[in-house]
Amino acid sequence: MTTVKIAAIQMNSGEDVAANLTRARRALRSAAADGAVLAVLPENFARMGKRESDRIAITEENNAGPLQDFLAAEAARANMWIVGGTIPLKSDDPKRPCASALVYDADGKRVGRYDKIHLFDVRVPESEEAYRESQSATPGTRPLIVETPWGNLGVAVCYDLRFPEQFRRMANQGMDILAIPAAFTYRTGLAHWEVLLRARAIENLCYIVAAAQTGTHPAGRQTYGHSMVVDPWGAILAESPSRPGVCSATIDPAHLKRLRQQFPVLEHRRIKTVS
């Protein structure tokens, strides 16, 4: 199998949905023009409001709505797979939609939906920042693996990154590439973003493409940025600075296969508690 290029879209989303979509469209088309076959948008790419609850205003029905239409149309136009960051999709609780990352293939067909499992209910240490995502979102329950022409694609979101058992389960299901849309806070990103991404890549011998929000958002919230592509040995293949843009790198499925054969750590586990 030949090498392919994958891209992480880094954004500074605000409250203006139309403006955010215009920026996302420009970045996606730039990635496609550069030869990317897969692009990942960051968490909350369509809107970063002053409050977590602001997402309710753009909540869509499953399989129907302008944000989903946007993702499908851009994937088809660019002939490129897209992981659509997260958008709010209706759940059984009208006040708490799911934070859903949707996967579209190069024909614009939706082939996967992942609802964020771990919700960000924290007070950031040594800071006044506090978040209670569970008040405005309903958690998902199942990891997602999607078959692509270049290997099995897993999808997780932001705070999920801190829970290695989720990724071990995905590795058990054959994950080769992991897409991580995120909006890490500046403080937690500075401390842990890179090390967590590299650890998840090393532990599971997989490629990672992580797309992040960056900069200052409404109400003064700051996100860390530094979108990146990481290889299965933990090397950073590409990394964005702290401004919006496209971060891309070439990955080699054949190299991944050889590495797993030569260094079969996933087969050597003696404690297998995660199905």
Tokens of 18: 């139309």
Given the structure tokens 């532990």, which residue do they identify? 203
Given the structure tokens 């989720």, which residue do they identify? 166
Given the structure tokens 């880094």, which residue do they identify? 10
- b/e per residue, 16-50, with b = 16+ CB within 10 A? ebeebbebbeebbbbbbeeebbbbbbbbbbbbbbe
- List active site positions: 43, 116, 158
Q: What is the chain's Cα-based Rg?
A: 17
β partners of residue 216: 222
> Got the DSSP string for 56-71?
GGG-BBTTBSHHHHHH
224 burial class (0-12, 13-18, 19+ CB within 10 angstroms)?
A: buried
Task: Give how far Cα 85 sits from Cα of 55, 147, 167, Å.
Answer: 13, 18, 18
Q: Dihedrals φ, ψ of 108, to 5°? A: 85, 15
Contact present, 117 and 141 (Cβ < 8 Å): yes
Contact present, 231 and 254 (Cβ < 8 Å): no
β partners of residue 113: 102
**Assign residue 178 a region: left if phi > 0, alpha if psi is -120 to 50, beta otherwise?**
beta
